[in-house]
Chain A
């Protein structure tokens, strides 16, 4: 099928030659003229595609809490840990589990914060999440998440790509591959980052073996989100159109001769770059937001922050962007887990809750899926090391952790799954990373078993040969 398409395109371009470039230029000029008329339909390989079945969600905002927040300080209250603090966990519970830093016989550390029940759903969450407590009836908390990976980079890549080694497409790429883009002005898959660097790096938003037009576009959090949007001094918009016209014409000739679809991606990238020159400044203009909205998020427009990224995420989705990931890196509390959780909650709790509230108020929550969580959890046992200067921390824990989801397709006000009394293993309703991925795709109207791409001789999926949709958290 692919071969047939390329051959057809090749004949088309070799027959038409530079005429196609002129057609493209005419199209761009016409666009300039029509710019005042509002959003335009997306055409080409990123044109919107129908889902496999009617979708609840059209867009996803993924709040990726990189570094792995402590579920035991936030969502999974385990009084038993306080009771037996200082004693080791029985070896039969631990089994063969290995850890990044601690020994399996490390002593138990009790919960560092108080928990209380909130809302009509009575969800039990920690005093560190006062803002989330206010929207707890609108989210689904999953306390029984499990992953296969216990180090940051592979676990982050696993959460995004369903595979722990770099090289496979990320969830955002699969989604834009499956559904196309609703925005002609902005990239379909946008990535932002607050806090420190991301261990897994760009493999987390890679398009892997999918055409590279599906990879995430990284927006900077500080200063201008996109560099070099402005043309060189002395230029005007007509020059941008002319330059794009001649570059596009020559690239099309090359595409006709070569047939590499990556050339088509490059042509599309240059056209998107041109549109970003007007859409990016508009997107970033937070003076359009009311003081009340800014206060809701706790956002100061001039300051780089998680709050600003959340507000931008809403603005991106409002403008038709399909998938936004915000990485907030910094939850890796190997030492002083209480201080780590307190600091990161101060930076993220208010804005995460504000995002849910804001989306609801604008009637966007029903069509936007919000996913909050890290790449794994943290141990019930303490991490302490005189050599590393660590005390009262928690190590990486893949066996059990908590995430929450809200919005499009998700049943509000439920707490799903449970861990054992030590918070060590999942005790009921396990939700593996592949199950989460299957569920996200399901909310978007995509069947994770049918969303495939043929590569290296076989069909690949985000969920590989795994994954079950978690029906209990669906509305």
Chain B
């Protein structure tokens, strides 16, 4: 919790100092817990009806309470398509990234990576 400016268990704070560090970025990107959360979130998006664009908007609503704007959607779908190709080609390990679950491992891993990206947006992390 110190990475996110939390006090240690033996004291309390009226207000936390706010930092915004590379350590937080590393935690949100790579910590096993956040990776698992990204898998679950990706699986939920993948399970929602419609095409990739509709699934992406489902993800946006879950995380940001809004659908994505056109340019954002274009960027994220581009990312999805690139990673899907790289997973299918074996450049990335779909089984390891996607974890256990039903359905196509490439799809699962690709959506996990999209969910992970969305979870790391400033808008997701910070309430303004």
Binding site for B on A (CB under 8 A): 17-18, 21, 166-167, 187, 197, 201-203, 206-207, 212-213, 215, 217-218, 226-236, 238-239, 242-243, 245-247, 249-251, 253-255, 258, 260, 262-263, 265-267, 269-270, 272-273, 276-277
Contact = CB atoms under 8 A, between A and B. Distances in A.
Interface string B79-99: 100110010000111111100
B8 A228 contact: no
B19 A254 contact: no
A231 B74 CA distance: 25
Count class of interface residues, chain B: 35 or more
Given A228-B30, A229-B30, A250-B72, A239 B83 contact: yes
B97 A232 contact: yes
Given A232-B30, A255-B122, A266-B122, 8 more contacts: A197-B10, A201-B11, A212-B21, A235-B92, A260-B128, A273-B29, A276-B22, A277-B26
B96 A234 contact: yes
B8 A234 contact: no
A227 B23 contact: yes
Nearest to A255: B122
Interface string B112-128: 01001100111101101
B35 to A, nearest CB: 5
A273 B3 CA distance: 13
B5 A246 contact: no
Given A246-B79, A250-B72, A270-B25, A236 B5 contact: no
17 contacts: A187-B22, A201-B7, A215-B19, A217-B22, A227-B23, A227-B26, A227-B31, A229-B26, A231-B29, A232-B32, A234-B95, A234-B97, A235-B92, A255-B122, A262-B20, A265-B20, A270-B22
Nearest to B96: A234
Nearest to B26: A228
Nearest to A249: B75
A197 B2 CA distance: 12
B105 to A, nearest CB: 10
Contact of B26 (A206, A226, A245): A226
B21 to A, nearest CB: 5
A242 B114 CA distance: 11
B109 interface: yes
A202 B78 CA distance: 40
A64 B17 CA distance: 21
Contacts of A167: 17
Contacts of B94: 234
Contact of A269 (B11, B21, B79, B109): B21
Contacts of A272: 22, 25
Contact of A215 (B7, B21, B26, B83): B21
A228 B23 CA distance: 8
A251 B121 contact: yes
A231 B34 CA distance: 12
Contact of B83 (A242, A249, A255, A263): A242
A235 B19 CA distance: 28
B30 A231 contact: yes
A234 B90 CA distance: 10
B87 to A, nearest CB: 9
Name the residue among B18, B20, B123 with the largest chain A CB count within 10 angstroms: B20
Contact of B122 (A18, A263, A273): A263
B29 A243 contact: yes
A270 B120 contact: yes
Given A230-B30, A233-B96, A207 B19 contact: yes
The 8 closest A-B pairs by CB, nearest first: A234-B96, A234-B93, A273-B25, A228-B30, A272-B22, A234-B97, A212-B20, A273-B22
B99 to A, nearest CB: 9
Contact of A226 (B23, B86, B113): B23
Given A227-B31, A234-B94, A206 B86 contact: no
Contacts of B126: 262, 266
Given A202-B5, A235-B92, A266-B125, A246 B117 contact: yes
A48 to B, nearest CB: 19
A266 B96 CA distance: 28
Contacts of A276: 22, 26
B107 to A, nearest CB: 15
Name the residue among A203, A266, A267 with the largest chain B CB count within 10 angstroms: A266
Contacts of A251: 121-123
B48 interface: no
Given A227-B31, A243-B29, A254-B121, A234 B109 contact: yes
A321 to B, nearest CB: 13
A18 B74 CA distance: 9
Contacts of A166: 17
Contact of B116 (A226, A228, A243, A254): A243
A79 to B, nearest CB: 41
B19 A212 contact: yes
B102 interface: no
A255 B92 CA distance: 31
A246 B71 CA distance: 11
B22 A17 contact: no
A129 B116 CA distance: 52
Nearest to B14: A166
A17 to B, nearest CB: 6
Contacts of A267: 122
Contacts of B71: 17-18, 253
A260 B20 CA distance: 13
Contact of A236 (B2, B17, B19, B92): B92
